[in-house]
Structure 1
Amino acid sequence: MAPTKYHKFRSGERCDECGARQWYAQDALRYCRNGHRLEGFAEHEADEDNFGTQGKVSRKKKEKRQKVAVKLSGDEGRELYLEVLQLILVKQVRWLVIEKEFPDDFEEIVRALWSLRVRSLPVRGSGNEEEGRGGREESQPLFSSMGEGTGSESEELGLSDATTATWAPDAGKRWKLPKLIDTLALCYLGCLVRRLPASMAEFCGWAQRGEIDFLAAFNGIPRNVRDRLPAEYHRALQVRDHIPPGRLQAAVQDLVIAYKVNFETVFPPLNYVPILVRFITELTLPIEVYMAVKCMTEILKTDYSYHTGGKTIRTMDNPEVLLVSLIVVSAKLLYPLDGIERPPRSHEDPRSLKMDWAKWQEVMQDDTAGTSSNLQRGEEYKVGPEDVLTMEKTKLDDFMDWFEKMWIADGDAKTDERIREPFENQKRPTLPNQESNGDGGSERIRNRYEAMNSSLQVVEPVPDPEELENGKKEKQDRDFCPVWRTEEDLPDAAKVFYGKAASTAAVTLNTLIKGTTQVENRLAVWCNQRVKRERDKGKGKAVLMDDDSD
């Protein structure tokens, strides 16, 4: 008779009656070592140690769990938003220094401006909000993580009015949270401090073409930072597909006034001469316009500084708006846009040359259309649904490249795959980089002037008639210049010229019309004062007036 084979109970099991930990099998039944029958146990053909190991084992694959980041709120969310803006500003400054060869100290200047901008915000967690208004005396690291928040809510992200009254200390106003447009505005203010001849139109062009980090800046933010950023700040960082004309000018004006009120900071005047030359050449105007603008600058006694005094800011108080307004008024006086002949009085009169505005429109239109089959960079946002259906293949490829670069983020990889799938395995040649300046821009401007110079005509002078019996001269038609106050008043040639000038300066047409009207009013006042002064001198009166330049 074979010896009894004992087996161990499984971990945690034993005989209910005696507590024995071993059992044996007999007649398809199981008993403990002491002979007590075990209920619920049955004999198995396979060895107990090999039980459950027969056959192929399949396991359900566990789904990968995605970690959901906790959204920050309150002061922590606002602090993270400021750090994101700071990161974007750092990228913009580095691009200007590396790609546009701005001086090395430009970064230090923008650092200081950013430090002042966020230092005026209330300290996070402080009970006294007034400490945020320049009340902190301790120094803070520049371009570092500022431990400051604001008491402002998301609805206060809007732009404040560009008036000194709204920023008066007794009005209880406090700096709002900076917006994404303020990063470009700070870079522009850095150019003012450094006296760099960079215009707002250039900044808008760099941003529109995707060269400087702005329109798609939200896509460049690290994913873990975006996940923790509150939704209202997502909306603040996701801008439209272009910068509206005049938007950057308003942001710069607002910052200039705020720096003056809070820190008594006054920015240098605009380095206007290089910008003036650039505007004139972009508009393909004769060199006589440059001399006329310089004369009017002396008459108006302006140095192209930002105005920070008074309760309101006029349109012409913006230096670049004033500059382009003087260009338009000068061209309007020298080369009439209303079709009325105004012959010169002598050969020295700047009006000795007659400009063919019809030829000018033709040259500018041909230049805008271009001979290239590629889509003009910076104007991709103008493409509409109806244009896509009739667009050439090359231009459609350019638009899709721009769309992928600017608006397809790395948030959902499946979305990217679905968008790219119809265009995979399609090769296209490398396209030349279209720039608005450089050798290509110089060649374009040269071709314009060659076409325009051939159309200029010399006008024979017509002297003034003899004086009347009372010694007065009869006013001639050439002594009057029409004033157009609305877009509807503009003749056809003037409407095209005004529109092109407004586009060159990145302002709206209505803004330019207001600026030119204000300049013309100032010039009319100066002319009246000059006539009155000469009349009073003829009567032997001593007149105490400002020494106006002739």
Structure 2
Amino acid sequence: MDYVTRGVCGQESCRERRYYLDNGQWFCRRGHLQEGTQVEEDADDFGKLGRISRVKREKEEKSRKTARGRKAQTLLLQAYQIILWKQCFALIHDHGFPTQYEGVVRDLWALKLQDYTSNIIESTDDEDVDSEPELFSSQPSQKDEDEPSVTIRPTYHTWPRISETVALCYLAAIIMQLPICLSDFYRLILRQDIPYIRPLKVVPREIKRQLPPEFTRILTVNRIPRVEVLHRTLRDIALRYQRKFGIELPPLNSPIIFYRHMKRLALPVDVYEIILTLQKLLGFTFEYPEYLNDDKRIESLQLPEIQMMVLIVIATKLLFPFDNIPRNPATDLEPTAQGINWQEWIRAQQQFESQKHCEGKIGVEKAIQVSEADVSRMEPHQLDEYLDWYEKDWLDTTKDPHELAEMFAPSESENQTPPRHGPGAEQSAYTDEDKELDALLRKVTEGILSVPIVPDQEGEIVARPGMWYRRYRRVSALPAEARPFHEIAAKLAGVSLHKLVRAVSAAEWRLGHGLEYQARSEYSEYESESNSEDGSDLEEGSDLEFGSDLEGRSHSEEGSDIDVADDEVDEDHEFDGGLHGNSGDEMDELNELDEQLMGLGVGDE
């Protein structure tokens, strides 16, 4: 009898392991029937028809070992450099930047790379010395006592951040004197025209796989940055390049930038003449300083873009104030002979903003800011547009697709706008914005008011432009007509409304004290000349009368946090060069600035 060795029988404590087959049933050697096991014999004795063979999938070679040490740090810098190059590529090929722009960015990055290469050398020990066995002991060795230990843990302060890529691109634009503002780069980030949100999607897959999690976290940006953060990063990098590498950053291309801001704010060209006068009085150079002032109250005034916007706001308040106090020019040659209808200006600006959201489209700039409440109010075509944007920018397409996944691939919307390629397409896209700006200017110009002319008369005091200048220290003190103007100005300058109001107030305080000091100096010179000619001293108390006159020209209303100053004597004289005169030459110069902006795809909002 043939026996087959199997497991233990287990019935009645039987430990038998050998079994035999009888009438299709299995019995152990001691005769215990194995229940549930039965073999049926085929009468025709057909054999097996075949065997099913399953082909095993070829496993991918796991080359995604996480790199450590020097190699991981090198991969981090390579990924960062790829992101920076992608940004330059988009700016040159899609937004009309000059081809030399990439070389300037590369030189700036080469200087900055010196700091990180030194960090790699300092933070990595001799990795190649692994042949000799190492003895571990609880007692510190002589080498450890002499040399300080270096931590390899990466932090946001020792390695570059993504916000620094935008700062490098902006510094290169300053060096090349391109009329670009930081708000333009912020708008490109919101529109995702340059890689900033989730920048790892432009990094090759092989590099991403080997990056350790702590380095991946440094290169991960999943939310919209605040423009104040970009200002602060730009200021720190500009200081570092000037101090460590001795680079002299030129001033901003102020004429064209002033022209762009004035065009977006729909201001007359006469404002530019007042801006030049105020610039000399305040001493603004539109350059990034080599040293920062520790006074937090004037911290914003050290940034050149904020300086330019402060001058625009003050000049506008001088020529076209937001209050309802009547101020009459003496002749019709003054720019204040015509005034801005601020109510019509606000309506024109609101219409200009509404044209951007015509046809019910979301737009890339708004899609990234969509919330749950916005989704519930969307139309079907808006949902399709939002899902198309999400598929394009948030789905990971670097992974190898599954065979079945290709059959259920998400389809793009039929009316989706094709991507723009080439500077010509970008220029045609910005033509629509130029047309909208021209329509805005025409509408504001149609609402210009004529101010009555009141000539000078003896014995009669007439309120002239520049007198009773109002100073607003807080946002809550802004009138209804002034708030929309300040909001658009703050958006163009890339700061919050609160910071712009504080910066304007600080500049007005500095301007008032500077004029007061100049008036006192001129009075002292006049007093000394009078004493030398007449040989007699002034009466006691004359200085008090002059001081009381200065006090009467400026006082504060505590209830509304507004300072009211009457520039009747000396301050009106200081602004006389800016308020009177013909601006025809400036008009001819500014008409030519449009041609310089045609090659750059940096349209205004």
The C-alpha deviation readout for 1:245-289, integer Å capped at 9, x for no partner, is 222221111101111221222211111111111111112122222
The match for 1:59 is: 53
The C-alpha deviation readout for 1:178-210, integer Å capped at 9, x for no partner, is 111111111111111111111111111222212
Q: Is the 8 A contact 2:67 2:211 kept in 1?
A: yes
SS of residue matched to 1:528 = helix
User: Structure 1's 345 and 407: CA in aligned 2 closer, same or farther, altered over 3 A?
Assistant: farther
Q: Is the 8 A contact 2:319 2:466 kept in 1?
A: no
User: Structure 1's 157 and 379: CA in aligned 2 closer, same or farther, altered over 3 A?
Assistant: same
Alignment of 1:273-352 (within 5 A): 273-312=255-294, 314-352=299-337
The C-alpha deviation readout for 1:21-68, integer Å capped at 9, x for no partner, is xxxxxxxxxxxxxxxxxxxxxxxxxxxxxxxx9531112443553537
Alignment of 1:21-60 (within 5 A): 54-60=48-54
State the alpha-carbon separation in 1 of the partners of residues 250 and 406 from structure 2. 49
The match for 1:96 is: 91
Deviates more, 1:264-273 or 1:232-241: 232-241
Q: Is the 8 A contact 1:152 1:177 kept in 2?
A: no
State the alpha-carbon separation in 2 of the partners of residues 392 and 541 from structure 1. 79
User: Structure 1's 389 and 125: CA in aligned 2 closer, same or farther, altered over 3 A?
Assistant: closer
1:516 aligns with 2:504: yes
1:217 aligns with 2:199: yes
1:237 aligns with 2:219: yes
1:528 aligns with 2:516: yes
Q: Is the 8 A contact 1:337 1:493 kept in 2?
A: yes
User: Structure 1's 420 and 311: CA in aligned 2 closer, same or farther, altered over 3 A?
Assistant: farther
Shift of 1:356: 1.4
The match for 1:395 is: 382
Whichever residue aligns with residue 440 of structure 1, its letter is D
User: Structure 1's 96 and 57: CA in aligned 2 closer, same or farther, altered over 3 A?
Assistant: same
Q: Is the 8 A contact 1:306 1:317 kept in 2?
A: yes
The match for 1:181 is: 163
TM-score (norm 2): 0.67
Whichever residue aligns with residue 460 of structure 1, its letter is P
User: Structure 1's 495 and 479: CA in aligned 2 closer, same or farther, altered over 3 A?
Assistant: same
The match for 2:110 is: 115
The C-alpha deviation readout for 1:424-452, integer Å capped at 9, x for no partner, is 48633647979797321221011101111
- Gap regions ≥5 residues in structure 2: 1-46, 125-149, 531-573, 578-605
State the alpha-carbon separation in 1 of the partners of residues 287 and 152 from structure 2. 31
The match for 2:415 is: 428
State the alpha-carbon separation in 2 of the partners of residues 442 and 270 from structure 1. 23
Q: Is the 8 A contact 1:341 1:478 kept in 2?
A: no
State the alpha-carbon separation in 2 of the partners of residues 482 and 518 from structure 1. 13
The C-alpha deviation readout for 1:217-246, integer Å capped at 9, x for no partner, is 211111221121122232222223423122
State the alpha-carbon separation in 2 of the partners of residues 290 and 270 from structure 1. 16
Q: Percent identity?
A: 24
State the alpha-carbon separation in 1 of the partners of residues 309 and 71 from structure 2. 44
The match for 1:28 is: none
SS of residue matched to 1:157 = coil
SS of residue matched to 1:483 = strand
Whichever residue aligns with residue 304 of structure 2, its letter is P
The C-alpha deviation readout for 1:526-547, integer Å capped at 9, x for no partner, is 32133223423432449xxxxx
SS of residue matched to 1:267 = coil
State the alpha-carbon separation in 1 of the partners of residues 224 and 526 from structure 2. 58
State the alpha-carbon separation in 2 of the partners of residues 386 and 96 from structure 1. 34
Q: Is the 8 A contact 2:310 2:503 kept in 1?
A: yes
The match for 2:438 is: 446
1:482 aligns with 2:464: no
1 or 2 for the larger relative contact order (CA 8 Å, sep ≥6)?
A: 2
Q: Is the 8 A contact 1:95 1:212 kept in 2?
A: yes
State the alpha-carbon separation in 1 of the partners of residues 173 and 286 from structure 2. 14
User: Structure 1's 393 and 532: CA in aligned 2 closer, same or farther, altered over 3 A?
Assistant: farther
Deviates more, 1:183-192 or 1:455-464: 455-464
Shift of 1:71: 1.8
Whichever residue aligns with residue 385 of structure 2, its letter is D
Whichever residue aligns with residue 71 of structure 1, its letter is T
Q: Give the one of 84, 99, 105 matched to 2:79.
A: 84
Q: Is the 8 A contact 1:208 1:243 kept in 2?
A: no
TM-score (norm 1): 0.74
Shift of 1:476: 7.5
Whichever residue aligns with residue 529 of structure 1, its letter is Y
The match for 2:135 is: none
Q: CA RMSD in A?
A: 3.3
Whichever residue aligns with residue 378 of structure 1, its letter is E
Whichever residue aligns with residue 207 of structure 2, its letter is V
State the alpha-carbon separation in 2 of the partners of residues 420 and 206 from structure 1. 35
Q: Is the 8 A contact 2:83 2:195 kept in 1?
A: yes
User: Structure 1's 201 and 425: CA in aligned 2 closer, same or farther, altered over 3 A?
Assistant: closer
State the alpha-carbon separation in 2 of the partners of residues 55 and 75 from structure 1. 60
The match for 1:227 is: 209
The match for 2:156 is: 157
Deviates more, 1:424-433 or 1:196-205: 424-433
The match for 1:262 is: 244
State the alpha-carbon separation in 1 of the partners of residues 512 and 469 from structure 2. 10
Shift of 1:112: 1.3
Alignment of 1:345-424 (within 5 A): 345-370=330-355, 371-410=358-397, 424=411
User: Structure 1's 314 and 456: CA in aligned 2 closer, same or farther, altered over 3 A?
Assistant: same
The match for 1:497 is: 485
Q: Is the 8 A contact 2:385 2:413 kept in 1?
A: no
Alignment of 1:7-26 (within 5 A): none
Q: Is the 8 A contact 1:467 1:474 kept in 2?
A: no
State the alpha-carbon separation in 2 of the partners of residues 267 and 98 from structure 1. 26
State the alpha-carbon separation in 2 of the partners of residues 515 and 151 from structure 1. 42
The match for 1:10 is: none
SS of residue matched to 1:382 = coil
Shift of 1:346: 3.4
State the alpha-carbon separation in 1 of the partners of residues 397 and 389 from structure 2. 16
The C-alpha deviation readout for 1:478-504, integer Å capped at 9, x for no partner, is 522222222222222222111111112
State the alpha-carbon separation in 2 of the partners of residues 101 and 240 from structure 1. 28
State the alpha-carbon separation in 2 of the partners of residues 89 and 348 from structure 1. 52
- Gap regions ≥5 residues in structure 1: 1-52, 130-149, 159-175, 543-547
Shift of 1:122: 5.1
User: Structure 1's 515 and 208: CA in aligned 2 closer, same or farther, altered over 3 A?
Assistant: same
Whichever residue aligns with residue 75 of structure 2, its letter is L
Shift of 1:87: 0.7
Q: Is the 8 A contact 1:75 1:124 kept in 2?
A: no
Q: Is the 8 A contact 2:284 2:307 kept in 1?
A: no
